[in-house]
């Protein structure tokens, strides 16, 4: 039984939903090459910018300027006066298409990448080989982009670093960053230093037994992580150690999630394969009231 209601359909492939500083839902549509903003109360929507090399993650600098990942040329772009300009070149770090991004309050951005040509591998041999416990995905770095566009490695050897989120901070303890390692079937935690550098890497939740290849994630105020499982028409809420506390069923596979107030927004599609979703408008935004 589907728990969600359809907020908007006719997308190609929706990704990276974000709660914008103006209260609207911002999201990318990969194969329409657009970043859009949607008012959840009125339904009014606008195209914020067009990204020829395919948009993914987005976020904002402290002064409100939008940052967006340009996937195929492995860059982060900045919206200046209605035009996208180069903010950071990830070519020295990203080993394939750049993907999701998390921007902190200081304007530092963490950016993941595919690590290899996943879509071609699936087209050639299907998903089954990647689901075998003995299969190991190629490792790739996570990039850290400073507010001035300087790029460095934040961490190395991640298995398709994807959605990210910060857990609620506890007084006297370092901030915790959660990274979804899609092809490691788990959530990985890091301590975050004041300058944004990462340390103390550890497994936060192993999810292979639940057939969850975590794609997009959203953290909540209670320290839970809402996970889009990519291979299932559901969203799961996970606690540290892997306990699942909630399951929300969607109409098709869920690839990304956001918490907008007490609403869970889900980006869904029948597949992530370009030959399927770049042609037909099968993607949806679905919503569930928590």
In 3D, which of 255, 211, 262, 192 has the Cα closest to residue 19? 262
pLDDT of 51: 98
**What's the CATH number where 240 sits?**
2.120.10.30
Q: How far apart are CA 69 and CA 234, in angstroms?
A: 26
Residue 85's beta-bridge partner residues?
Answer: 78
Token output for 251:
């109409």
The span from the CA of 81 to the CA of 143, in Å, is 26
pLDDT for res 170: 81
> CA triplet 41, 270, 34: central angle to 5 degrees?
50
Average model confidence (pLDDT) across the chain: 94
Domain that holds residue 143: 5-289
Q: Is 254 helix (H, G, I), strand (E, B) or coil?
A: strand
The total number of residues shown for the chain amounts to: 290
pLDDT at 175: 95
User: Quick one: which H or E segment has residue 276?
Assistant: helix 274-277
Q: Token pair 């929507």 is at which residue?
A: 45
**CB 153, CB 93: distance < 8 Å:** yes
Confidence at residue 205, expressed as pLDDT on a 0 to 100 scale:
98
In the chain, how many domains are there? 1
State residue 202's pLDDT score: 98
pLDDT tens digits, residue range 24-62? 999 999 999 999 999 999 999 999 999 999 999 999 999
Mean pLDDT, contiguous 10-residue spans, the chain (290 residues) = 96 97 96 96 95 98 97 97 96 96 98 84 72 80 98 97 95 92 96 96 96 96 97 97 98 97 96 87 96
Give the pLDDT score at 140: 97
Q: CA-based Rg of the chain, rounded to a whole angstrom?
A: 17
């Amino acid at each position: 039984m589907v728990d969600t209601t359809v907020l908007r359909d006719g997308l190609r492939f929706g990704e990276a939903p974000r709660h914008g500083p103006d209260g609207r839902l911002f999201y990318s549509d990969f194969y329409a090459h657009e970043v859009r903003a949607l008012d959840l109360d009125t339904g009014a929507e606008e195209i914020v910018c067009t990204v020829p090399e395919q948009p993914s993650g987005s976020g904002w600098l402290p002064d409100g300027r939008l940052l967006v990942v340009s996937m195929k040329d492995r860059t982060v772009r900045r919206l200046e006066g209605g035009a996208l300009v180069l903010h950071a070149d990830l070519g020295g770090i990203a080993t394939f298409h750049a993907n999701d991004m998390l921007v902190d309050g200081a304007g530092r951005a963490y950016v993941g990448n595919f690590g290899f040509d996943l879509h071609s591998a699936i087209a050639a041999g299907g998903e089954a080989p990647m689901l075998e416990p003995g299969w190991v995905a190629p490792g790739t770095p996570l990039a850290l982009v400073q507010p001035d566009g300087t790029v460095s490695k934040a961490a190395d050897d991640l298995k398709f670093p994807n959605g990210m989120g910060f857990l609620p901070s506890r007084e006297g303890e370092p901030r915790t960053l959660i990274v979804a390692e899609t092809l490691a079937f788990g959530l990985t935690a890091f301590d975050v230093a004041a300058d944004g550098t990462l340390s103390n890497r550890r497994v936060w939740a192993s999810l292979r037994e639940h057939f969850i290849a975590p794609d997009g994630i959203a953290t909540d105020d209670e320290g839970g992580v809402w996970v889009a499982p990519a291979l299932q028409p559901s969203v799961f809420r996970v606690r540290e150690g892997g306990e699942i506390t909630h399951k929300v069923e969607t109409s098709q596979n869920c690839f990304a999630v956001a918490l907008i107030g007490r609403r869970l927004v889900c980006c869904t599609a029948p597949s992530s394969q370009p030959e399927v979703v770049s042609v037909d408008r099968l993607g949806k935004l679905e919503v569930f009231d928590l």
